[in-house]
Structure 1
């Protein structure tokens, strides 16, 4: 496709016919221990965006016709919203091959065109002419870059993502001229990096790892604060602030001790190199909360609320009893690590009834049922692609429900939440309504 950028993209060649390129093209010859030409493959970001728009050409034309905007589009131009995703792909080692020595792990960076809108001349407001109907389908998600790199290897990850970050920065400051339906049109791009799990967000935004006392990637709360005040937090973290905080961490302008300094920067201790859009990753949220409920179930079978420090053997026997019961009654096989399918089946009223058969007293059984009942009222809200349409009642009651869940946890289950809370439970209870108010959805962007 022929296209041009105005102004031309900084440090990006102007040729339009570029296929898959070496991911580090334009960078130094070797990244640490790996031969640089084997480690990463990518499309040039601007070329990939052009081909994604060309794929949508008919949808865009149809959207223009439906909204009667054929004429104004070519004068005022389009605005394109892009969702970016970046995730580790786990173990991709050659099982017995003799290829070049590369890390066994891989990371994939991809993007989805979420919407295309036009600025209406008279009203000066945006009219959306295309919305991706299935924002989570692998068909709408375009791969941009595949990298053999372990997502925990900060140095290599920054080096490999560097060229993408640079191209994206250039794209933000320019506009694309591309023919759509035979007429040259102008496109501006807006990026929202929401397709990151918590581990990756912490990695690229310079925060400490997930076990940190700074429990959240959206607010400054510590784990202890979050366990006492479970619901009332607002989103305050952001890329620019992280950069400023890193500078403070690096220079220590007030000559403070390490502890004071760490408290001042709220756990930002590496240089943030990629801007993410703070949100909650719905799949891991499911998984994280299921792990937590799985532990509560064990504790309730063992009546931990009235015990002090049960032995490891006791705990093991409760877990064995729980696994056996779930396998017998629900055909749910124990898993080494919690996964999405197990989580979906465990987080049901049916599973609670099965667990309750092992819980000695009726009032604790009632509490467990209530716990799951409230949780199942919360979950659709951050799972739905369009919550205001799909589950409006649950959306309205979200804050009330999350407060009820918090009250239940901090009274009946306080043996688990004394100064502790898991990262995802905090986000589920504290941040969902604010994210939805801002983005309209969590499920679509996750």
Structure 2
């Protein structure tokens, strides 16, 4: 039986990787022999009349990361060699993880048998973007994902039969994943790569979310909201009057504070006043996403850039490249 095998023998089993966390992960089992687990284990026997054990399947986050690193063993050793670094380097290796989550649309089977389940699916996945080690002149990158948006390097962590708009099911399933991720932020992984025990630290970046899911997991109102932006507090009216200047001001921490304000209403304000104070945060944010420029702001940036080009065209700047400020202003209002 597996439990009586020695560590050396276990290491020879396909798909089995022995690893350890220092300090041990909070609220996560130290058992390393874990495969696919039930995404809703520990919850009641059914959710909205769906049998709970078929709603979601997932890997434990740390076990999935270890499995991916073992698959990349050759890349890591080649990276060390290509940077003229010692093969026996124990680390710490810093790994940047891109997290992604998106709805997969309608997955219904018209004539399939089996338990009745929601006909939409959501997938949470991760990609190892870079691996670096400390060098004498700062970090040295030994691996960088050449095609970060390819499905080949995007590792599925959790599949759930749920609608991405279903806040309750999403939080119930993704909650434990977020807890595991938070625990890994402050712990070091000890894993054998190339026959040597090495030390790994993880940095998580939640950039693979579309606007709909950012709003969902960061507690913002849905996309029809007057608070048009997931990056700043701008309203539709303000945004329509300002096509040039924007900065990223929203953050996960601020969203959490605003949710507490929304929940407690400490200043005893009316709903409208309170909504204005919290700028559209009305649910508890439960996943930290990394705000990155979205399609709306790319469009605005492009519009501003083209606007400038048109102004220069109007002024026929190619005929007079040394025009003064007054002249340029005149073109702008033409």
- TM category (shorter chain) comes to 0.7 to 0.9
After superposition, the Cα gap between the structure-2 partners of 1:127 and 1:28, relative to the gap in structure 1 and judged at 3 Å, is: farther
How is 1:361-372 mapped onto 2 (pairs within 5 angstroms)?
A: none
Question: Is the 1:64–1:129 Cα contact (8 Å) retained in structure 2?
Answer: yes
Question: Is the 1:26–1:163 Cα contact (8 Å) retained in structure 2?
Answer: no
Please state if 1:94 is matched with 2:109.
Answer: yes
Return 5+ residue gaps in structure 1 as ranges: 290-377, 380-397, 410-446
Structure 1 distance, partners of 2:303, 2:198, is 47
Residue 175 (structure 2) aligns with: 162
Residue 128 (structure 1) aligns with: 141
Q: How far is the alpha carbon of 1:216 from its aligned partner?
A: 0.6
Any idea what SS the aligned residue of 1:85 has? strand
Select 1:138's aligned residue among 151, 168, 172. 151
Residue 44 (structure 1) aligns with: 60
After superposition, the Cα gap between the structure-2 partners of 1:408 and 1:264, relative to the gap in structure 1 and judged at 3 Å, is: farther
Q: How far is the alpha carbon of 1:14 from its aligned partner?
A: 1.6
How many residue pairs get matched? 294
Question: Is the 1:24–1:163 Cα contact (8 Å) retained in structure 2?
Answer: no
Question: Is the 2:70–2:193 Cα contact (8 Å) retained in structure 1?
Answer: yes
Residue 134 (structure 2) aligns with: 119
Residue 59 (structure 1) aligns with: 75
Question: Is the 1:231–1:406 Cα contact (8 Å) retained in structure 2?
Answer: no
Structure 1 distance, partners of 2:286, 2:193, is 34
Select 2:209's aligned residue among 196, 201, 204. 196
Structure with the bigger percentage of helix: 1
Residue 251 (structure 1) aligns with: 264
Q: What whole-Å deviation, never above 9, does each CA across 1:64-86 have from its counterpart, x for those lacking one?
A: 11112226831x41000000000
TM-score relative to the length of structure 2: 0.83
Please state if 1:205 is matched with 2:218.
Answer: yes
TM-score relative to the length of structure 1: 0.63
Residue 383 (structure 1) aligns with: none
Question: Is the 2:97–2:203 Cα contact (8 Å) retained in structure 1?
Answer: yes
Question: Is the 2:121–2:164 Cα contact (8 Å) retained in structure 1?
Answer: yes
Question: Is the 2:77–2:87 Cα contact (8 Å) retained in structure 1?
Answer: no
Any idea what SS the aligned residue of 2:128 has? strand
Structure with the bigger percentage of strand: 2
Q: How far is the alpha carbon of 1:404 from its aligned partner?
A: 3.9
Residue 224 (structure 1) aligns with: 237
Structure 1 distance, partners of 2:286, 2:128, is 23
Select 1:73's aligned residue among 68, 89, 110. 89
Select 1:234's aligned residue among 247, 251, 264. 247
Please state if 1:107 is matched with 2:122.
Answer: yes
Structure 2 distance, partners of 1:258, 1:14, is 47
Q: How far is the alpha carbon of 1:30 from its aligned partner?
A: 3.5
Q: How far is the alpha carbon of 1:243 from its aligned partner?
A: 0.1
Question: Is the 1:73–1:119 Cα contact (8 Å) retained in structure 2?
Answer: no
Question: Is the 2:100–2:125 Cα contact (8 Å) retained in structure 1?
Answer: yes
Question: Is the 1:81–1:192 Cα contact (8 Å) retained in structure 2?
Answer: yes
After superposition, the Cα gap between the structure-2 partners of 1:407 and 1:29, relative to the gap in structure 1 and judged at 3 Å, is: farther
Any idea what SS the aligned residue of 1:70 has? coil
Q: How far is the alpha carbon of 1:408 from its aligned partner?
A: 9.5
Please state if 1:2 is matched with 2:15.
Answer: no
